[in-house]
Structure 1
Amino acid sequence: MVEFQEGQQTRRGIPIMDFSHEMVVLGRDGQLHTLRGNARERVRTLPTPYEPATILEMRSNLQKEFGRDFEVLSTQHFLVVQPRGRGKRWPEMFEQSHRAFVNYMSRRGVKIRRGRFPMVAVVMPDESAMYSELKRMEVNAKRVAGIYALESNRVITHDGGHLRYIGATLRHEAAHQSAYNYNVHSRVVVTPRWVTEGIGQMFEPEAMVSGQSGLKIRERVNLDSLTVIRREFGSDLSSDFSDAIRDLIGSDQMFVNSKTTSKAYAVAWSMMFYMAEREPQAFSKVLAGTNRRGTYQPYDRFARLSDFERWVGTDIDQFASKVGWFLKSL
């Protein structure tokens, strides 16, 4: 274990990446800290083994961090920070989403390994308060109802908007949190965004976490994503659909370009949803393959494309054709 300074606070954790100019430390509460310059030089090694913080420690620290206007509720898998007096609705929503995620993944052969920390969810009283909290965390986000912050390992949302929209966002971000804490993804591996965001999109429909995961496949469909695909590619899915899949596999650029962002999320959903429902072995191979890559190892276009074709056992045009037929059947 090492000890380091972050602002005015002294923290402890374990190095997971250590270079001469930079060190990434996993804190005792599950947060990732990147130390550079003087902060890197002043790290002190301790003669004690790494131990995660206890639930009582984390709960106490969260209460101090957010103050008397908030309460910290504990569930089996979460510590939920919320304005006082909001009841159990939010903790139950997070628990329900997580249990459904684990059940869905396990049934498709994805190896699940429980994390070492309780997952932290922060519910701010309204949208303005949420953006203030994101600014404090140095997270740049606009026009969102909530996010999962990889470094802090927290979901942040708010309790002041349309419940249907916030609920879909919460399920999306909670799926990210469950995936990163239960070894579906790794927080220190470069994972293609079509994989991570495809899973997030999969869990937006309420039927995915209803307790029965949607009795019919049509109930599990992300209608917003399906609508975007039909708008962008037509009901017969033009050859542009195959090109979009190839571009998405090869790089994250479609997510970065504001003109193609909605298309990127929709196509990512179609790929992951198709594999999860029709080719679960390929689905689990994609997740296992991206998860086991080296820490922060670069991932170029050629490697991404060749890995994908190896995992799914076919070329991209054939894969796109199968996804297309699947979408038409919906």
Structure 2
Amino acid sequence: MPTRRFFLAASLPTTLALTHGVGLAQDAGSFGSFLKGVKAEARRSGISATTVDRAFASVSGPNQKVLDRYRHQPEFTMTWARYRGLLVTDKRITDGRAAFAANRALFSRVEQQFGVAPGVISGIWGLESSFGTTMGDFHVIDALATLAWEGRRAAFFRGELMAALKILENGDVAPTGMMGSYAGAMGQPQFMPSSYLRYAVDLEGNGHRNIWTSKPDVLGSIANYLARSGWRSGGTWGQQVLLPAGFDPQGRDVKRSLGDWATAGIRPLAGRWVAPFDAASAIVAPDGADGEAFVVFANFAAIRRYNPSDFYAIAVGLIGDGITA
């Protein structure tokens, strides 16, 4: 969703076509005035002077690396086949199986508490941060201040900056430890600060919600996000199917029972159906009727609340299925 993060920009190849946004023409001298206003707003909202001073101690001007990344984002025009080839890899699934095996008891605890299956949690964990190994190397306050000043989405990034300051005020993380992407997505789940305030949990039980280094908090926070986004315990996201000749896939908004799709000649690609025939479902064919197709269920929508992309949601499902198979 647009209030959460940019669509996997850091995960996609730099060989894609680039957009060269112009943005608002601002001179670096205006950054000081902007920062003064931000600090005043933070103090009015109840953020202590100590927190404000610590948060902005190393922020003296706009971060050029952030601006370069933001203004030169790749266009997302690739096919599903290309996307799948880049992200749903044997290595990612192998790494995921190792991470799952090493944390099996924790995954079981998370599933018991939130009702969310290990597969989908693993899929998101793997796509967002390669199971905690690549969280981004930008200081979140620095990145958000730069983008709030830059101007094109000033209100959004200023709101996220204020949310980040609230996190610091709560003492969950120090400014130096609040690391993330160039767009402010934080920690292993890559939550934007506002999402952190809504969904992050302290599963470790130490009084802090730590999505950077605490695996219980990381996995619990992903599960909480999905649970509060409508994930149905015991259900699945979907499965790959074969379409009959001439079938017109109409997308996720056209829902029928799984039995109706089976009657229309749709078949599972391998094995058996993963849901009962009365389950409401839709047919998604990301590259059209001649490409791969999937039947998706209600839990598919919960994944899309995390990231509003059919590509992303299918990739999460496939990676998770591969890890827990």
TM-score by length of 1: 0.29
Larger % of strand: which?
1
Bigger relative contact order, structure 1 or 2, given CA contacts below 8 A and separation 6+?
2
